[in-house]
Structure 1
Amino acid sequence: MIGSTAPAVQGAEEAPERNLRLTGQRIGGWFVARYIAAMIGIYVALVTPASVTIALRVGQIDPEGKASSFALVSAFGAAGALIANPVFGALSDRSTSRFGQRRPFIVGGFAAGALAILAIGAAPTVLLVAVGWTIAQVAFNAALAATVAVLPERVPAALRGRVSGFMGMTGQVGVVGGTFLVQLVGTDGAGMFVWPAFLGALLVVPFVLMLKEAPRSRAEVGTATVKALVGALWINPFRHRDFGFAWAGRFLAWISLYLLTTYKTYFLVDHLGYTSESVAPILTLAMFVLAVGVAVSSIGGGWLSDRLGRRKPFVIGASMLFVSAMLVIAFSTSVEKFLIGIALAGLGNGLYLGVDYALIADVLPDSGAEAGKGMGVFNLSSTIPQTLAPLLAPVLLSIGSSGNTPNYTSLFLSAAALALISAVFIQFIRGTR
């Protein structure tokens, strides 16, 4: 096959201006509202099974071995998501469909994901649940990759901070909304799978129906070869140093975050003396505090970064909030101090999410021709840590431990160090302020 890369954007015209000229669709409040609603819809359909209903279904099929079976299902799904985001982002970059570059992937990905989720509700074995969840992860991440690519190619730089701020809270809204919906409809029967997918579709459809796209020719977008798809998993950080520093900074910050979120339950039980029965209310309160922190700092940080025309100080500040959070939790001797650390982590998480999409859109290589690929590779900086953090944690817990007692102080001090290095990497970005 003849290899190909997407050609450069014609002239010096920025992608948002080009799309405005070709489609006539201006980016205002209603466009942003539909866009954010669509992202929430994808997350409701994707995150609700990941956090609630898949575990319940596995428990129904294999009550004795549910822990190991759920781990297997989750691993298959994570592998699918890891590959799907950048690959389908690159495929949408090269789409010449008369329906546009992004819409076919948003619609097709969401529809396939929803059907896979519904099939899981009727799956009789853990293996079929794993197959269904892998298909769902691939499909929903295809839709997500195409949706996220809209930011750099349609939203003007002056609005990216505000839009990025709202994007930063979509995952949390999806988690909370999906969990509440499952509680409302109950966990008996197929309803717990049907209703999140239905609600997600209601939120996605208005954006898709009203998104105007100009079809592109094969000469403009290049050919989707095997070489190009393999290349979708990689952007040279030495050739594109700003992108490399932004990716590395987010990667380290998210390892720090996942070390906290993955091991918070064990910390409360092993370090603060809670039991498996008494820890549930504290975890619920902690997640609420985290969500509030994310919502407040994400929206506020994105808006303020647009007003000041600066991105780096906010991302660096978010990393330093992570450092503070991990230090507080590392030396916590009470649940009150733990919750203070969680609040700081929520503020840091939200501030990072609220600005880093805008920051990466400012330094994304070839955002006019390969926005889907670029944003897909960037998203790997937050998906890889989900797998890496649980592998790294046992080593960190063993440092300075006595006997079989894990050293959580070592774990969270290490997380603080990773967040601090993350802030240092952001300092080296030159393509944005």
Structure 2
Amino acid sequence: MPAGENAGLSERRSVYLLAAVNLVALGSLAAPVMAGIPLKIDALMLPDQRATALATVLTLGGLAALISNPLFGALSDRTRGQLGRRRPWMLGGTVAGLLGVAALSASDSLPAIMISWVCTQTAFNAVLAVAAALLADTVPESRRAAASGVFTAAAFVGVLPPLVLTALLPRHVDLVSFVMPVAALAVVGVAMTVPDRASSALRAARRGLRAAPVSPAFVAVWLQRFAMQSALSLATAFTLYMIIDRMTSDPVAATPIAMIATVAGGAGIVVGAAFGGAWASRLHRYMPFLVCGAVGLAAGASLRAVAEVPIALWVASAVGGLAVGAYLAVNLALAMRVLPEGRAGTYLGVLNVAETIPQVLVPLVAAGLLRIGQSDPISGASDNYLALYASAAVLALLSLATLPALRRASRQETPVPIHCRS
């Protein structure tokens, strides 16, 4: 088999393995966020206390993710050993994450929920940070949008199994929460075979720590991801409680509706990321995907703001998901395009901060937006979901303000990979 073909097969294998790691890591966080923690808090707190308690728990988890992403990304840039730079952190984070889920399942008080969720977020965000860095190490520039699409799509595929199981088994959420962390041990075990280029990249990282400046294009990529992730978080915040207040008046009956909405949104993200990333790689132009992503998310949030029946909520979730998927694939490819050499772990960890800061701020902001006015104009409930989701739509459109700074990077010509040259 020709050397170029061998290299291409090895590259595709590495992409799929790293995508599988992304799948199980994000999937491990899905069931606790969407059902496990909200239901535990609902059982512990009075109705007028639950939103604040949930916001507090999610904020603390977001802070843990905020710290762990750049920290473990930077540590992996400088780690040396027989296992390479990235792989020790990937394996250690998976083991620690499983232990965190076990502690969360056993929690029977608000402080215990807080501590166990912080540990779980820290561990799995370490896995997410180093998996993204390995992807940047592995894939040449000409195929990064397509690889980013697969990587992003896989993450949201990972959300689907625990959420489907939660919808089918709403009274056994704690048990469902173990499915993906256990699967993660097996997947990461196989992914330990992904090449981890330690020596040359480590020297480049050491040079970069002294000399690599932050480019304006990377700042623009970061700001746009921050705005879009904040809009997405607002658009999906307190979905379970909105369904209870507007549609069911019953937490158990609301859980399957919320899970279907999340599945619809996740499926949209998977399709949008996979097809949008592949299309962007062929066109070598990213700007249309950034625009469609922002406008599509705004449309989905606007529909969610007035949804009174499950079908409207599910359509809103699917529309927003398609848009966000295409956007995320292109955003990650753009970020990898403007990274300094040898600093993938550090810079992609910093990029992930743009996703984790909203986890810290958005629950608190969302809780405040729910208090605007006397009640929800749609349902008459005390929490104003119309104000919450309309704010998400506005913020998604505001993310377009970063486009002028991204115009040149989005059209940059891509080099031909060395193994493909004659």
Shorter-chain TM-score above 0.5: yes
Alignment of 1:180-219 (within 5 A): 180=164, 192=176, 194-215=178-199
Shift of 1:331: 4.8
CA distance 1:195–1:324, shift in 2 (3 Å): closer
Q: Distance in 2 between matches of 1:152 and 1:269?
A: 42
Q: Using structure 2 for the length normalisation, give the TM-score.
A: 0.80
Q: Distance in 1 between matches of 2:375 and 2:46?
A: 32
- 1:250 aligns with one of 225, 236, 239: 225
Other-structure match for 2:260: 285
Unpaired segments ≥5 residues, structure 1:
1-19
- Is 1:30 equivalent to 2:13 in the alignment? yes
Shift of 1:54: 5.2
Shift of 1:175: 2.0
Residues paired across the two proteins, number:
399
Structure 2: which amino acid aligns with 1:31?
S
Contact 1:153/1:371 (CA < 8 Å) preserved in 2?
yes
Other-structure match for 1:241: 216
Other-structure match for 1:359: 334
CA distance 1:80–1:330, shift in 2 (3 Å): closer
% same residue: 29
CA distance 1:417–1:306, shift in 2 (3 Å): same
- Post-superposition Cα deviations, 1:80-117, rounded to whole Å, max 9, x if no partner, equal 11101111111111112232111111112222222333
- Is 1:132 equivalent to 2:106 in the alignment? no
Contact 1:41/1:202 (CA < 8 Å) preserved in 2?
no
Contact 2:301/2:316 (CA < 8 Å) preserved in 1?
yes
Shift of 1:338: 4.1
Report runs of 4+ in structure 1 exceeding 6 Å deviation: 56-60, 63-66, 182-190
Alignment of 1:93-108 (within 5 A): 93-108=77-92
The CA RMSD measured in Å over matched residues stands at: 3.8
Structure 1: which amino acid aligns with 2:389?
F
Structure 2: which amino acid aligns with 1:112?
A
- 1:275 aligns with one of 238, 245, 249: 249
- Post-superposition Cα deviations, 1:182-207, rounded to whole Å, max 9, x if no partner, equal 78999779855654322111111111
Q: Distance in 1 between matches of 2:337 and 2:274?
A: 19
Unpaired segments ≥5 residues, structure 2:
412-422
Bigger mean CA offset, 125-134 vs 352-361: 125-134
Contact 2:167/2:259 (CA < 8 Å) preserved in 1?
no
CA distance 1:389–1:59, shift in 2 (3 Å): closer
- 1:300 aligns with one of 275, 278, 298: 275
Shift of 1:375: 0.7
- 1:377 aligns with one of 330, 337, 350: 350
Other-structure match for 1:161: 145
CA distance 1:338–1:175, shift in 2 (3 Å): closer
Aligned to 1:136, what secondary structure does the other structure show?
A: helix
CA distance 1:422–1:281, shift in 2 (3 Å): same
Shift of 1:211: 2.7
Q: Using structure 1 for the length normalisation, give the TM-score.
A: 0.78
Q: Distance in 1 between matches of 2:225 and 2:294?
A: 9
Bigger mean CA offset, 352-361 vs 171-180: 171-180
Q: Distance in 1 between matches of 2:296 and 2:357?
A: 22
Q: Distance in 1 between matches of 2:170 and 2:316?
A: 33
Other-structure match for 1:13: none
Q: Distance in 2 between matches of 1:141 and 1:300?
A: 26
Bigger mean CA offset, 353-362 vs 48-57: 48-57
Q: Distance in 2 between matches of 1:50 and 1:189?
A: 11
Structure 2: which amino acid aligns with 1:275?
S
Shift of 1:120: 4.5
CA distance 1:260–1:361, shift in 2 (3 Å): same
Q: Which has the higher helix share?
A: 2
CA distance 1:344–1:219, shift in 2 (3 Å): closer
- 1:42 aligns with one of 25, 37, 45: 25
Structure 1: which amino acid aligns with 2:361?
L
Contact 2:223/2:354 (CA < 8 Å) preserved in 1?
yes
Other-structure match for 1:426: 403
